[in-house]
Amino acid sequence: MRAAAEAAALARELRRHLRDAFEDDIASVSTNFAKTPAFGSSGAAPTALTGSKEEASQKLAEAIRACRSCPLGRARRNAVPGEGSLAADVVFIGEGPGLDEDRLGRPFVGRAGQLLDRILASIGLSRDAVYIANMVKCHPMKDSSSPDSRGNDRPPSPDEMEACRGYIEAQIRLIVPRFIVTLGGVASKALLREETPISKLRGRWREFFLEGLAAPIRLLPTYHPAALLRQPELKRAVWEDMKTLRDALGGSGCP
């Protein structure tokens, strides 16, 4: 009960912060984004963002970098908003930044990120052609008093993901991709709000509904690249999933 109450309080605080961060901007951004509530699954923002998608994305990144709405914000070195093309057909979503990402403020730049680059290249995609982000924007640590220690990573908690959820939903509303690929069980289950193991979720198309979007987005869960580093036998499954994505994109990968 206490955890749920704390999560609800964090979500309220986040929505308040987002409204404050954006209320000066407003009106109609571009196409789909302008038609939707700006943030959050339950808290429609009173306004939409003005300017270009790039300006809206920059404002969102500034809000994330200023955010302290959950405990992860206290120990991080850098928040990691996400990066890539705002016109991407595919958004890749992991669970949260690790040590390397925390140091650089960029998503998927460590060993798992290098593997993700190779996975993208295997189906003709590049980091510039997609968008890459995480469920939480700050580094979840086992011991927050040692932010520079290797091996200090942990998955984000459900409360932390709920507190941060408005940001990833805002990014999805901004980009409106054709496809979402969730990387790993933590991100897949959190975004879909279900408990099915990743071994059963992976490789099967799902529909992701988001308030304010005219149509659901097709979502494909697969394993996280970090899992492939620990268990190379999972690579075949990810390759099959990437072929599924490539086929959906039209067979040639990057449009």
Q: Which residues bind ligand SF4 (CB under 6 A)?
A: 14, 64, 67-70, 72-73, 79, 136-138, 160, 163-164
In the complex with ligand SF4, the residue whose CB is nearer, 7 or 201, is: 7
What is the closest distance, in whole angstroms, from the C-beta atom of residue 205 to ligand SF4 in the complex?
28
Q: How far is residue 154's CA from residue 148's CA, in Å, rounded to a whole number?
A: 14
In the complex with ligand SF4, the residue whose CB is nearer, 49 or 70, is: 70
- Left, alpha or beta for 35 (phi > 0: left; psi -120 to 50: alpha)? alpha
Contact 72, 160 (CB under 8 A): yes
What is the closest distance, in whole angstroms, from the C-beta atom of residue 43 to ligand SF4 in the complex?
14
In the complex with ligand SF4, the residue whose CB is nearer, 163 or 242, is: 163
What is the closest distance, in whole angstroms, from the C-beta atom of residue 137 to ligand SF4 in the complex?
4
Return the residue nearest ligand SF4 (CB atom): 73
What is the closest distance, in whole angstroms, from the C-beta atom of residue 12 to ligand SF4 in the complex?
12
In the complex with ligand SF4, the residue whose CB is nearer, 64 or 125, is: 64
For the residues of the chain, what is the DSSP string, one character each? Answer: -HHHHHHHHHHHHHHHHHHHHHTTT-S--SHHHHHS-SS-SS---SS---S-HHHHHHHHHHHHHH--SSTHHHH-SS----EE-TT-SEEEEES---HHHHHHT-SS-SHHHHHHHHHHHHTT--GGGSEEEESSSS--BS-TT-TT-TT-B-PPPHHHHHHHHHHHHHHHHHH--SEEEEESHHHHHHHHT----HHHHTT--EEE--TT-SS-EEEEEE--HHHHHH-GGGHHHHHHHHHHHHHHHTSSS--
What is the closest distance, in whole angstroms, from the C-beta atom of residue 38 to ligand SF4 in the complex?
16
In the complex with ligand SF4, the residue whose CB is nearer, 173 or 202, is: 173
In the complex with ligand SF4, the residue whose CB is nearer, 189 or 202, is: 189
Number of neighbouring beta carbons within 10 Å of residue 25: 16
What is the closest distance, in whole angstroms, from the C-beta atom of residue 136 to ligand SF4 in the complex?
4
In the complex with ligand SF4, the residue whose CB is nearer, 68 or 118, is: 68
What is the closest distance, in whole angstroms, from the C-beta atom of residue 132 to ligand SF4 in the complex?
16
